[in-house]
Protein backbone atom coordinates (compact mmCIF):
# COMPACT_ATOMS: atom_id res chain seq x y z
CA UNK A 1 0.00 0.00 0.00
CA UNK A 2 1.34 3.44 -0.91
CA UNK A 3 2.13 5.88 1.88
CA UNK A 4 -0.27 8.86 2.02
CA UNK A 5 1.14 12.38 1.66
CA UNK A 6 2.40 13.79 4.95
CA UNK A 7 -0.25 16.49 4.88
CA UNK A 8 -3.01 13.90 4.53
CA UNK A 9 -1.54 11.82 7.34
CA UNK A 10 -1.50 14.95 9.54
CA UNK A 11 -5.16 15.73 8.88
CA UNK A 12 -4.82 18.20 5.98
CA UNK A 13 -6.37 17.67 2.56
CA UNK A 14 -3.05 18.17 0.81
CA UNK A 15 0.37 19.85 0.92
CA UNK A 16 1.12 22.62 -1.58
CA UNK A 17 4.53 24.10 -2.35
CA UNK A 18 3.99 27.76 -3.29
CA UNK A 19 7.00 29.30 -5.01
CA UNK A 20 7.30 33.07 -4.73
CA UNK A 21 4.90 33.02 -1.80
CA UNK A 22 6.27 36.27 -0.34
CA UNK A 23 5.40 38.17 -3.50
CA UNK A 24 2.20 40.11 -4.07
CA UNK A 25 0.09 37.33 -5.60
CA UNK A 26 1.96 34.52 -3.85
CA UNK A 27 1.33 35.95 -0.39
CA UNK A 28 -2.38 36.30 -1.19
CA UNK A 29 -2.40 32.64 -2.22
CA UNK A 30 -0.67 31.58 1.00
CA UNK A 31 -3.11 33.59 3.12
CA UNK A 32 -6.09 32.19 1.23
CA UNK A 33 -4.98 28.56 1.49
CA UNK A 34 -4.03 28.77 5.17
CA UNK A 35 -7.33 30.48 6.07
CA UNK A 36 -9.12 27.42 4.72
CA UNK A 37 -7.44 25.32 7.40
CA UNK A 38 -7.25 22.15 5.32
CA UNK A 39 -4.10 22.75 3.28
CA UNK A 40 -0.50 22.63 4.46
CA UNK A 41 1.41 25.40 2.68
CA UNK A 42 5.16 25.45 2.12
CA UNK A 43 6.29 28.88 0.94
CA UNK A 44 9.60 28.92 -0.93
CA UNK A 45 10.78 32.45 -1.68
CA UNK A 46 14.18 33.96 -2.43
CA UNK A 47 13.13 37.28 -0.81
CA UNK A 48 14.13 39.62 -3.61
CA UNK A 49 13.32 43.35 -3.53
CA UNK A 50 9.55 42.98 -4.07
CA UNK A 51 9.00 40.27 -1.44
CA UNK A 52 7.19 41.13 1.78
CA UNK A 53 7.18 38.90 4.85
CA UNK A 54 4.83 41.41 6.50
CA UNK A 55 2.20 40.33 3.97
CA UNK A 56 2.39 36.89 5.61
CA UNK A 57 2.10 38.03 9.24
CA UNK A 58 -1.46 36.71 9.36
CA UNK A 59 -0.32 33.12 8.71
CA UNK A 60 3.28 32.91 9.90
CA UNK A 61 2.37 31.26 13.23
CA UNK A 62 -0.13 28.82 11.73
CA UNK A 63 0.68 25.09 12.02
CA UNK A 64 -0.51 24.85 8.40
CA UNK A 65 2.31 27.08 7.18
CA UNK A 66 6.09 26.83 6.72
CA UNK A 67 8.39 29.42 5.17
CA UNK A 68 11.67 28.46 3.50
CA UNK A 69 14.01 31.10 2.12
CA UNK A 70 15.64 29.82 -1.06
CA UNK A 71 15.89 29.81 -4.82
CA UNK A 72 13.76 27.68 -7.14
CA UNK A 73 17.00 26.98 -9.00
CA UNK A 74 18.50 25.27 -5.93
CA UNK A 75 17.72 21.69 -6.90
CA UNK A 76 18.99 20.15 -3.67
CA UNK A 77 16.77 22.42 -1.57
CA UNK A 78 13.69 21.94 -3.72
CA UNK A 79 14.23 18.19 -3.74
CA UNK A 80 14.44 18.07 0.05
CA UNK A 81 11.24 20.09 0.47
CA UNK A 82 9.30 17.94 -1.97
CA UNK A 83 10.45 14.73 -0.28
CA UNK A 84 10.27 15.80 3.37
CA UNK A 85 6.81 17.32 3.09
CA UNK A 86 5.55 14.71 0.60
CA UNK A 87 4.22 17.61 -1.49
CA UNK A 88 1.31 16.72 -3.76
CA UNK A 89 0.92 20.07 -5.48
CA UNK A 90 3.19 22.86 -6.71
CA UNK A 91 1.84 26.32 -7.36
CA UNK A 92 4.61 28.12 -9.26
CA UNK A 93 4.43 31.91 -8.88
CA UNK A 94 8.11 32.78 -8.41
CA UNK A 95 8.97 35.24 -11.18
CA UNK A 96 10.40 38.61 -12.04
CA UNK A 97 7.37 40.57 -13.21
CA UNK A 98 7.96 44.28 -13.81
CA UNK A 99 8.04 45.22 -17.50
CA UNK A 100 10.14 48.38 -17.02
CA UNK A 101 12.81 46.43 -15.14
CA UNK A 102 12.84 43.77 -17.87
CA UNK A 103 13.57 46.44 -20.46
CA UNK A 104 16.47 47.83 -18.43
CA UNK A 105 17.91 44.45 -17.36
CA UNK A 106 16.47 41.41 -19.12
CA UNK A 107 19.04 38.83 -18.01
CA UNK A 108 17.56 38.28 -14.54
CA UNK A 109 14.16 37.68 -16.14
CA UNK A 110 15.58 34.92 -18.32
CA UNK A 111 17.46 33.43 -15.36
CA UNK A 112 14.47 33.39 -13.00
CA UNK A 113 11.49 32.94 -15.29
CA UNK A 114 13.00 30.53 -17.82
CA UNK A 115 15.97 28.77 -16.22
CA UNK A 116 14.38 28.77 -12.77
CA UNK A 117 11.20 27.21 -14.13
CA UNK A 118 13.28 24.56 -15.93
CA UNK A 119 15.03 23.55 -12.69
CA UNK A 120 11.73 23.46 -10.80
CA UNK A 121 10.13 21.29 -13.48
CA UNK A 122 13.03 18.85 -13.31
CA UNK A 123 12.72 18.45 -9.55
CA UNK A 124 8.92 18.23 -9.68
CA UNK A 125 9.19 15.49 -12.31
CA UNK A 126 11.71 13.55 -10.23
CA UNK A 127 9.45 13.84 -7.19
CA UNK A 128 6.29 12.86 -9.08
CA UNK A 129 8.01 9.74 -10.38
CA UNK A 130 8.66 8.58 -6.82
CA UNK A 131 4.98 8.80 -5.92
CA UNK A 132 2.57 5.88 -6.15
CA UNK A 133 -1.16 5.30 -5.95
CA UNK A 134 -3.38 8.13 -4.78
CA UNK A 135 -0.43 10.43 -4.06
CA UNK A 136 0.72 10.20 -7.67
CA UNK A 137 -2.79 10.60 -9.06
CA UNK A 138 -3.48 13.77 -7.06
CA UNK A 139 -0.18 15.54 -7.85
CA UNK A 140 -0.41 18.75 -9.89
CA UNK A 141 2.09 21.32 -11.09
CA UNK A 142 0.23 24.62 -11.52
CA UNK A 143 2.14 27.19 -13.53
CA UNK A 144 0.88 30.73 -12.96
CA UNK A 145 1.44 33.07 -15.91
CA UNK A 146 0.25 36.34 -17.40
CA UNK A 147 -1.98 37.58 -20.22
CA UNK A 148 1.01 39.60 -21.46
CA UNK A 149 2.30 36.49 -23.28
CA UNK A 150 -0.47 37.11 -25.82
CA UNK A 151 0.86 40.55 -26.80
CA UNK A 152 -1.76 43.27 -27.06
CA UNK A 153 -5.16 43.92 -28.53
CA UNK A 154 -6.61 46.74 -30.64
CA UNK A 155 -9.12 49.14 -29.11
CA UNK A 156 -12.15 47.05 -30.02
CA UNK A 157 -14.28 44.27 -28.51
CA UNK A 158 -11.73 41.45 -28.88
CA UNK A 159 -10.44 39.61 -25.82
CA UNK A 160 -7.82 37.00 -24.99
CA UNK A 161 -8.91 33.43 -24.39
CA UNK A 162 -7.23 30.04 -24.05
CA UNK A 163 -6.72 29.79 -27.83
CA UNK A 164 -5.04 33.18 -28.26
CA UNK A 165 -1.67 33.01 -30.06
CA UNK A 166 1.50 33.96 -28.24
CA UNK A 167 2.95 37.34 -29.29
CA UNK A 168 5.02 38.63 -26.35
CA UNK A 169 6.19 42.24 -26.62
CA UNK A 170 8.68 42.73 -23.77
CA UNK A 171 11.57 40.74 -22.28
CA UNK A 172 9.28 40.05 -19.32
CA UNK A 173 6.41 38.64 -21.37
CA UNK A 174 8.81 36.72 -23.61
CA UNK A 175 10.39 35.06 -20.57
CA UNK A 176 6.96 34.10 -19.24
CA UNK A 177 5.94 32.77 -22.65
CA UNK A 178 9.07 30.61 -22.69
CA UNK A 179 8.24 29.22 -19.26
CA UNK A 180 4.68 28.42 -20.37
CA UNK A 181 6.08 26.41 -23.29
CA UNK A 182 8.48 24.54 -21.01
CA UNK A 183 5.64 23.52 -18.70
CA UNK A 184 3.57 22.22 -21.60
CA UNK A 185 6.58 20.35 -22.97
CA UNK A 186 7.17 18.61 -19.62
CA UNK A 187 3.54 17.48 -19.72
CA UNK A 188 3.54 16.25 -23.31
CA UNK A 189 7.00 14.68 -23.24
CA UNK A 190 7.26 13.32 -19.70
CA UNK A 191 3.64 13.13 -18.58
CA UNK A 192 4.02 15.58 -15.68
CA UNK A 193 0.43 16.49 -14.65
CA UNK A 194 0.30 20.24 -15.15
CA UNK A 195 -2.32 22.96 -15.29
CA UNK A 196 -1.66 26.52 -16.43
CA UNK A 197 -3.34 29.87 -15.91
CA UNK A 198 -2.84 33.29 -17.43
CA UNK A 199 -4.19 36.25 -15.49
CA UNK A 200 -4.92 39.90 -16.14
CA UNK A 201 -3.49 42.82 -14.11
CA UNK A 202 -3.79 42.27 -10.37
CA UNK A 203 -4.28 44.97 -7.73
CA UNK A 204 -4.92 45.10 -3.99
CA UNK A 205 -3.10 45.42 -0.65
CA UNK A 206 0.59 44.52 -0.27
CA UNK A 207 1.56 45.22 -3.91
CA UNK A 208 5.09 46.62 -4.28
CA UNK A 209 4.80 50.33 -5.16
CA UNK A 210 6.42 50.14 -8.58
CA UNK A 211 3.15 49.08 -10.19
CA UNK A 212 0.59 51.63 -11.38
CA UNK A 213 -2.04 51.56 -8.63
CA UNK A 214 0.15 51.53 -5.49
CA UNK A 215 2.64 53.93 -7.08
CA UNK A 216 -0.13 56.40 -7.87
CA UNK A 217 -1.66 56.14 -4.40
CA UNK A 218 1.63 56.64 -2.57
CA UNK A 219 2.81 59.52 -4.76
CA UNK A 220 -0.57 61.26 -4.66
CA UNK A 221 -0.76 60.90 -0.88
CA UNK A 222 2.66 62.58 -0.66
CA UNK A 223 1.64 65.38 -3.03
CA UNK A 224 4.13 64.25 -5.69
CA UNK A 225 3.63 64.35 -9.44
CA UNK A 226 1.84 61.40 -11.01
CA UNK A 227 3.61 60.22 -14.18
CA UNK A 228 1.41 58.54 -16.80
CA UNK A 229 2.92 56.98 -19.91
CA UNK A 230 2.05 58.41 -23.34
CA UNK A 231 -1.57 59.50 -23.63
CA UNK A 232 -2.71 57.24 -20.79
CA UNK A 233 -5.17 55.47 -23.07
CA UNK A 234 -3.55 52.03 -22.70
CA UNK A 235 -6.21 49.68 -21.31
CA UNK A 236 -5.81 46.93 -18.70
CA UNK A 237 -8.26 44.34 -17.35
CA UNK A 238 -8.14 44.62 -13.54
CA UNK A 239 -8.49 41.65 -11.17
CA UNK A 240 -8.42 41.90 -7.37
CA UNK A 241 -5.67 39.72 -5.95
CA UNK A 242 -8.06 37.97 -3.54
CA UNK A 243 -10.28 36.93 -6.46
CA UNK A 244 -7.18 35.68 -8.23
CA UNK A 245 -6.10 33.62 -5.20
CA UNK A 246 -9.49 31.89 -5.19
CA UNK A 247 -9.19 31.23 -8.90
CA UNK A 248 -5.74 29.70 -8.53
CA UNK A 249 -6.89 27.26 -5.87
CA UNK A 250 -9.84 26.35 -8.10
CA UNK A 251 -7.57 25.63 -11.07
CA UNK A 252 -5.18 23.58 -8.94
CA UNK A 253 -7.94 21.46 -7.44
CA UNK A 254 -10.39 21.19 -10.33
CA UNK A 255 -8.56 22.07 -13.55
CA UNK A 256 -8.16 19.44 -16.25
CA UNK A 257 -4.59 18.16 -16.56
CA UNK A 258 -2.77 19.71 -19.50
CA UNK A 259 -5.27 22.55 -19.89
CA UNK A 260 -4.98 26.32 -19.59
CA UNK A 261 -7.42 28.74 -17.96
CA UNK A 262 -7.37 32.50 -18.49
CA UNK A 263 -8.43 34.53 -15.45
CA UNK A 264 -9.76 38.07 -15.59
CA UNK A 265 -12.00 40.46 -13.72
CA UNK A 266 -14.11 41.63 -16.67
CA UNK A 267 -13.02 45.16 -15.74
CA UNK A 268 -11.31 47.10 -18.52
CA UNK A 269 -10.05 50.56 -17.65
CA UNK A 270 -7.52 52.90 -19.24
CA UNK A 271 -4.48 53.88 -17.24
CA UNK A 272 -5.50 57.53 -17.15
CA UNK A 273 -8.97 56.57 -15.88
CA UNK A 274 -7.41 54.49 -13.09
CA UNK A 275 -5.17 57.39 -12.06
CA UNK A 276 -8.02 59.92 -12.08
CA UNK A 277 -10.22 57.56 -10.03
CA UNK A 278 -7.47 57.34 -7.42
CA UNK A 279 -7.10 61.13 -7.45
CA UNK A 280 -10.81 61.60 -6.84
CA UNK A 281 -10.79 59.10 -3.96
CA UNK A 282 -7.85 60.91 -2.38
CA UNK A 283 -9.58 64.28 -2.70
CA UNK A 284 -12.19 63.01 -0.26
CA UNK A 285 -9.95 60.88 1.96
CA UNK A 286 -6.73 62.95 2.15
CA UNK A 287 -7.11 66.42 0.55
CA UNK A 288 -3.98 68.34 -0.37
CA UNK A 289 -3.21 71.12 2.14
CA UNK A 290 -3.89 73.91 -0.34
CA UNK A 291 -7.11 72.34 -1.61
CA UNK A 292 -5.70 71.63 -5.08
CA UNK A 293 -7.35 68.55 -6.64
CA UNK A 294 -5.01 65.58 -6.94
CA UNK A 295 -5.70 65.45 -10.69
CA UNK A 296 -3.47 68.54 -10.97
CA UNK A 297 -0.51 66.31 -10.08
CA UNK A 298 -0.87 64.21 -13.26
CA UNK A 299 1.97 64.55 -15.75
CA UNK A 300 2.06 62.79 -19.12
CA UNK A 301 5.54 61.38 -19.77
CA UNK A 302 7.27 59.75 -22.74
CA UNK A 303 5.84 56.32 -23.49
CA UNK A 304 7.93 53.27 -22.66
CA UNK A 305 9.31 51.10 -25.51
CA UNK A 306 6.87 48.53 -26.88
CA UNK A 307 4.02 49.60 -24.58
CA UNK A 308 1.12 47.21 -25.20
CA UNK A 309 -2.10 49.00 -26.12
CA UNK A 310 -4.77 46.89 -24.49
CA UNK A 311 -5.25 43.69 -22.50
CA UNK A 312 -8.64 42.06 -21.98
CA UNK A 313 -9.53 38.57 -20.78
CA UNK A 314 -12.53 36.40 -21.62
CA UNK A 315 -12.82 34.22 -18.48
CA UNK A 316 -15.83 32.29 -19.78
CA UNK A 317 -14.12 28.91 -19.59
CA UNK A 318 -13.15 29.05 -15.91
CA UNK A 319 -16.56 30.50 -15.09
CA UNK A 320 -18.43 27.84 -17.05
CA UNK A 321 -16.31 24.74 -16.35
CA UNK A 322 -14.91 25.39 -12.87
CA UNK A 323 -17.57 27.67 -11.38
CA UNK A 324 -15.24 30.55 -10.49
CA UNK A 325 -15.99 34.19 -11.15
CA UNK A 326 -14.64 37.49 -9.88
CA UNK A 327 -16.60 38.80 -6.88
CA UNK A 328 -14.89 42.11 -6.03
CA UNK A 329 -16.00 44.90 -8.36
CA UNK A 330 -13.35 47.43 -9.33
CA UNK A 331 -14.92 50.46 -7.65
CA UNK A 332 -15.12 48.72 -4.27
CA UNK A 333 -11.76 46.99 -4.65
CA UNK A 334 -9.99 50.20 -5.63
CA UNK A 335 -11.52 52.13 -2.72
CA UNK A 336 -10.45 49.53 -0.15
CA UNK A 337 -6.98 49.35 -1.72
CA UNK A 338 -6.60 53.13 -1.45
CA UNK A 339 -7.68 52.92 2.20
CA UNK A 340 -5.10 50.21 2.91
CA UNK A 341 -2.21 52.25 1.49
CA UNK A 342 -3.37 55.47 3.14
CA UNK A 343 -3.43 53.77 6.55
CA UNK A 344 0.20 52.76 6.06
CA UNK A 345 1.16 56.20 4.76
CA UNK A 346 -0.36 57.79 7.86
CA UNK A 347 1.38 55.24 10.07
CA UNK A 348 4.79 55.91 8.54
CA UNK A 349 4.23 59.68 8.80
CA UNK A 350 3.34 59.32 12.46
Catalytic residues: 147-148, 172
CB 79 within 8 A of CB 126: yes
Closest among 69, 75, 24 to 43, alpha carbons compared? 69
The angle that helices 271-285 and 212-221 make with each other, rounded to 10 degrees, is 40
CB 67 within 8 A of CB 74: no
DSSP assignments along 40-53, one per residue: EEEEEE---TT--G
Closest among 118, 25, 33, 107 to 72, alpha carbons compared? 118
Q: How far is CA 59 from CA 16, 30, 206, in A?
A: 15, 8, 15
Q: 157: buried, middle or exposed (CB in 10 Å: 19+, 13-18, 0-12)?
A: exposed
What would you report as the CA-atom Rg of the chain, rounded to the nearest whole angstrom? Answer: 20
Amino acid sequence: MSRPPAAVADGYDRCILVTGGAGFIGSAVCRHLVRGGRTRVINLDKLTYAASLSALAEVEQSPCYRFVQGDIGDRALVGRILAEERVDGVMHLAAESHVDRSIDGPSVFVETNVTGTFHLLEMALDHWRTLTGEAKARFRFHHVSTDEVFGDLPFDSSRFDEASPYRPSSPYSASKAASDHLVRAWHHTYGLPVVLSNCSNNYGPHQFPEKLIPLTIMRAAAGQTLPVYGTGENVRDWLHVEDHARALETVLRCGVVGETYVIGGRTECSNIAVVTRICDLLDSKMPLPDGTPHRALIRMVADRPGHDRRYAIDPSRIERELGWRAEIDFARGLATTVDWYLERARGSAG
